[in-house]
Amino acid sequence: MGGVVKEKVEVPAGWKLCRQGGEVKRHSEWHKNATASDGLSTRCKACRAIQGRAGHLKRSHGITEEERDLMIAAQGGLCGICQEAPAEHVDHDHQTGKVRGVLCFSCNAALGQFKDRPDVIRRAAAYVEGNLWNPTLVAQGVYRQPS
């Protein structure tokens, strides 16, 4: 009927055991917590960061780290757009919230700058390919720009 008894671990002064990570670390590796008896957080900074990333993925995108890792593996570890840089940033449709894939920082930022608008992205591609600067002669003196 009693609670779980934690194993007693000898820890030198200035150090603390992180029960989540199982490591003894210096006090500098912990966030301060004024309400705790020792004045330190219950988890070390590294464990808090890992848990924070996992929580962010679940709250923001509704996926787990494992699901993200499977998406990255399915993309060969590379960005879903440029297929050169490592896939590190989960991309999602801002209208529906649906996750589309995992991109590199640059491609993810580019989509954001284009406001996820396919028409603008197509015009940008045409511009880069030089198509916008090659008007078609329709009639004498009348030119049509590619759309």
- Give the pLDDT confidence of 7-49 residue by residue, as tens digits: 788 889 999 999 888 899 999 999 999 999 999 998 999 999 8
Confidence at residue 146, expressed as pLDDT on a 0 to 100 scale:
61
Domains (ranges, CATH) in the chain?
11-60 (3.30.60)
Closest by Cα among 40, 46, 48 to 11: 40
**What does the block give as tokens for 146?**
């590619």
- Give the pLDDT confidence of 41-52 residue by residue, as tens digits: 989 999 998 888
- 128 conformational bin, left if phi > 0, alpha if psi -120 to 50, beta if neither: alpha
Confidence at residue 132, expressed as pLDDT on a 0 to 100 scale:
63
- Give the pLDDT confidence of 40-84 residue by residue, as tens digits: 998 999 999 888 888 999 999 999 999 999 999 999 999 999 999
Confidence at residue 133, expressed as pLDDT on a 0 to 100 scale:
63
